[in-house]
Structure 1
Amino acid sequence: MNLLDDCTILSLVKVPETRERGFRLLVEQYQKRIYGVIRKMVIIHEDANDITQNTFVKAFRNIDKFKAESSLFTWLYRIATNESLNFLEKKKKRFFLQIDDHEKKMANYLDTSPHIDGDAIQVLLQKILLKLPEKQRLVFNLKYYEELSYEEISRITETSVGALKASYHHAVKKIEKEIKGE
């Protein structure tokens, strides 16, 4: 698949006759990356699929409000991260999960799921990431896995660059402590 620029996709979406085609191209272009960010936050494949779908439904409903002050990628990531954080918050409230119980459940899923691929070190890192506060985990995932700049993450999360640097620094320190067994 050839990557299209945002202007091409938006021009297709803005015309009623090509709206569906434009949106389909938007989904094809960004779905894997959006799913990846969501999956790293919620861990469970089925939940990540649902949240990915919700992200694109929300984007479809609100595409006319998109002002192109950021890239489509940044806008979609903002929707995806908000959807992920809201999902995790609702899940904890709905099941009255203690943070430790939720962390153990997700760690068990990492050990037993056929949907998790990767070597033991990646699984260990994912388990350690579960112990981080959700915002720190999000910042770490966007910086480490997605290789986004602090400026891009700032636009996605609507958080200052300084606060993001602090979150990332704290996340790295906590990960290092866990790896060392401290």
Structure 2
Amino acid sequence: MNKLTLILGILFTTLGFQYTQAQENNTEVKRGQNIFIELGGQGLTFTANYDSRFTNKRDGLGGRAGIGYFSVDGDKVTTVPLSLNYLLGKGNKFFEIGLGATYISTSGSSEVLFNENESNVIGTMSFFYRVQPADGGFSFRAGLSPVFSKDFFIPYYGGLSLGYTF
């Protein structure tokens, strides 16, 4: 619990500094928006996603939504990741910190985190390095995405994303 308190303290302190800097440098910038495919990460499998900032900034608070599907030998997994994230950085390089939830629906005979033919929601986090061009173009994300529920915690689950910023 102490680690969680420390992480939340650092996050809120950083958010306060970012807000103060934004107020001092009040220039109009187009908000960052991305579409990307992701392997692993908060979507757990292979997902298509949309990510956007909530204000006209390239960094700051934003969110993402996606959908994924994976099927092998009759075993099917559908995932829907939703999360809030915060980008720290300048130019086209950012560090992403996020917290979200992913809906998982499984069918078939094998177990994938849950029993067969079951639906559930798990918690997710993101600690990603992100390259997001200011003028649009190819974007890239890579990092760790810990996943958790009341029954488990997987701290070293990772992800890789390729997409387009506009």
* TM-score, scaled relative to structure 1: 0.25
Question: Per residue, is there more helix in 1 or in 2?
Answer: 1
Question: Per residue, is there more strand in 1 or in 2?
Answer: 2
* TM-score, scaled relative to structure 2: 0.27
